[in-house]
Amino acid sequence: QVQLLESGGGFVQPGGSLRLSCGASGTDFNFNRMGWFRQPPGKERELVATLTRGGNTAYADTVKGRFTISRDNSKNTVSLQMNSLKPEDTAVYYCNGFIYGVDYWGKGTLVTVSS
């Protein structure tokens, strides 16, 4: 069974940084695309950043210049470096892996940005 497990969430003050990490287990898939989505309180899940196996990235406009996605294809891991965090970045962050037309999701990790 494919599982994605996130780590690195927590509480941070505005302007601070956090790094999220996600690893895959139960599979030898090399996901075509891995990424991060988030769901702010009371809102729909939204794209944060994705990175294909070939190195193409996509970022939400709201995080461009502040967040950086990276992955290690050999280890099937993906990370998200989040800098200059804002209160509006508060959300549950979900790791995503996509292959063979199927999306796989982690259970999420909470990021809270508050003074």
pLDDT at 109: 97
CB neighbourhood size of 36 (10 A): 27
Give Dmax over CA atoms of the chain in angstroms. 43
pLDDT tier at 8, thresholds 50, 70, 90? very high
Q: What is the pLDDT of residues 63-112, one digit of tens each?
A: 999 999 999 988 889 999 999 999 999 999 999 999 999 999 999 999 99
Q: Which two tokens stand for residue 17?
A: 């940084």
Q: 105 burial class (0-12, 13-18, 19+ CB within 10 angstroms)?
A: middle
In DSSP terms, 78 is beta-bridged to: 22, 71
Q: Which amino acid is at 107?
A: K
Q: What is the pLDDT of residue 40?
A: 97
Mean pLDDT within 20-43: 92
pLDDT score for 76: 86
Please check the confidence at residue 26 and state whether its pLDDT lies above 90. no
pLDDT band at 28 (very low <50, low <70, confident <90, very high): confident
